[in-house]
């Protein structure tokens, strides 16, 4: 891995999945002697919370809230 000019590094997908990190998660970087640890900030999101987060905003292209509500209410 390489540190970029902004001090950022990409965590490999396999490690993100294995340790339960998902896009948008808050993380803390903790100094541990001569090393740094990346940990979940607070309680890690549950599988369901991560799923809802990924699905949010995908109800369909071009439909307004009013249009979706009309479909649900069968108006």
Query: Domain map of the chain by residue range?
Result: 13-73
State residue 44's pLDDT score.
64
Alpha-carbon gap, residue 46 to 52, rounded angstroms = 10
Extract the tokens encoding 50: 């991560």
Output the CA–CA distances (angstroms, integers) from residue 38 to 21, 26, 42, in the order listed. 10, 10, 12
pTM for this predicted structure: 0.50
* Residue 9's pLDDT band (cuts 50, 70, 90): very high
Please state the φ and ψ torsions of residue 49, each to the nearest 5 degrees. -65, -40
Q: Are the C-beta atoms of residues 73 and 67 closer than 8 Å to each other?
A: no
Joined together, the tokens standing for residue 11 give 């965590």
Q: Length of the chain, please?
A: 75
């Amino acid at each position: 891995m390489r540190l970029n000019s902004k001090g950022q590094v990409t965590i490999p997908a396999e490690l993100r999945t294995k340790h339960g990190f998902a896009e948008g998660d808050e993380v803390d970087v903790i100094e541990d002697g001569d090393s740094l640890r990346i940990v979940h900030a607070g309680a890690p999101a549950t599988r369901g919370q991560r799923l809802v987060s990924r699905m949010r905003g995908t109800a369909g292209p071009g439909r307004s809230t009013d249009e979706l509500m009309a479909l649900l209410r069968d108006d």
